Amino acid sequence: MTGGSEAGEAGEASSSTVRVESLGAGQVVSLPTDRFAVEWWLARQTASGEGVPYAAGGVLDLWPARRDETAGWTFGLELEFAVADAGWVATELHALGLCADPEPVAYHSPRPEGLWAVEQDRSVSTVFASPDGGAPIVVGGEVISPPLRDTPEAWAQVAAVLDVLHRCGAEVNRNCGLHVHVGAAALRPADGTPRDQLLALSRLAVLANVCFEDLFFRMASAEGGQHRGQTVFYRHCRPLERPLLPAYESLTALAGALGLEGSARRAALNLTNVGDPNKDTVEFRHCNGTLDGRVVQAFTRLCIALIGAARWAPQAALLPPAPLGQHWTARQSAAGDDARATVDTDSEPLWRFLSAAFPDGLSLPAAGSLYWLYRQGAWQPALADLSLA
**For residue range 112-150, what is the model confidence (pLDDT) as tens digits?**
999 999 998 888 888 787 777 667 788 899 999 999 999
Regarding whether 115 and 41 lie in a shared domain, the answer is no
Query: Where is 76: in which H helix or E strand?
Result: strand 75-85
Q: What is the pLDDT of residue 16?
A: 52
- In sequence order, the 6+-apart residues with CB closer than 8 A to the CB of 237 are 177, 220, 229, 266, 267, 268, 285, 286
Residue 188 has pLDDT above 50, yes or no: yes
What percent of the chain is modeled with pLDDT above 90? 67
Residue 5 has pLDDT above 60, yes or no: no
Domain assignment of residue 158, yes or no: yes
Regarding whether 363 and 292 lie in a shared domain, the answer is yes
Which of helix, strand or coil describes residue 281? strand
CA-based diameter of the chain, in Å?
77
Regarding whether 338 and 204 lie in a shared domain, the answer is yes
| Average pLDDT of the chain, as a whole number | 88
Regarding whether 156 and 38 lie in a shared domain, the answer is no
Higher-scoring residue by pLDDT: 39, 263: 39
Distance CA 225, CA 379 (A): 8
User: For 222-278, what is each residue's pLDDT tens digit?
Assistant: 987 888 877 778 888 989 988 999 889 999 999 999 987 777 888 999 999 999 998
**Total of domains in the chain:** 2
What percent of the chain is modeled with pLDDT above 70? 89
Could you tell me the residue range of the domain that residue 286 belongs to?
Answer: 1-60+176-389
Number of Cβ within 10 Å of residue 112's Cβ equals 11
Regarding whether 191 and 154 lie in a shared domain, the answer is no
Regarding whether 319 and 185 lie in a shared domain, the answer is yes
**Domain-ending residue, one of 170, 193, 225:** 170
Regarding whether 348 and 219 lie in a shared domain, the answer is yes
Domain assignment of residue 70, yes or no: no
Q: Give the model's confidence band at 304: pLDDT under 50 very low, under 70 low, under 90 confident, else very high.
A: very high
Radius of gyration (C-alpha) of the chain in whole angstroms? 21
Burial class (CB in 10 A: 0-12, 13-18, 19+), 271: buried
Regarding whether 182 and 154 lie in a shared domain, the answer is no
Q: What is the pLDDT of residue 224?
A: 78
* CA distance to 2, 107, 118, 267, 372, per residue, from 85 (Å): 58, 16, 11, 29, 32
Distance CA 271, CA 258 (A): 8
Domain assignment of residue 68, yes or no: no
Query: Where is 223: in which H helix or E strand?
Result: none
**Domain-ending residue, one of 170, 201, 231:** 170
**Domain-ending residue, one of 131, 150, 170:** 170
Residue 296 has pLDDT above 90, yes or no: yes
Q: What is the pLDDT of residue 125?
A: 81
* CA distance to 77, 137, 210, per residue, from 63 (Å): 22, 46, 24
Regarding whether 88 and 37 lie in a shared domain, the answer is no
Q: What is the pLDDT of residue 11?
A: 54
Q: Give the model's confidence band at 2: pLDDT under 50 very low, under 70 low, under 90 confident, else very high.
A: very low
Regarding whether 154 and 88 lie in a shared domain, the answer is yes
Domain assignment of residue 65, yes or no: no
Q: What is the pLDDT of residue 340?
A: 44
Regarding whether 185 and 113 lie in a shared domain, the answer is no
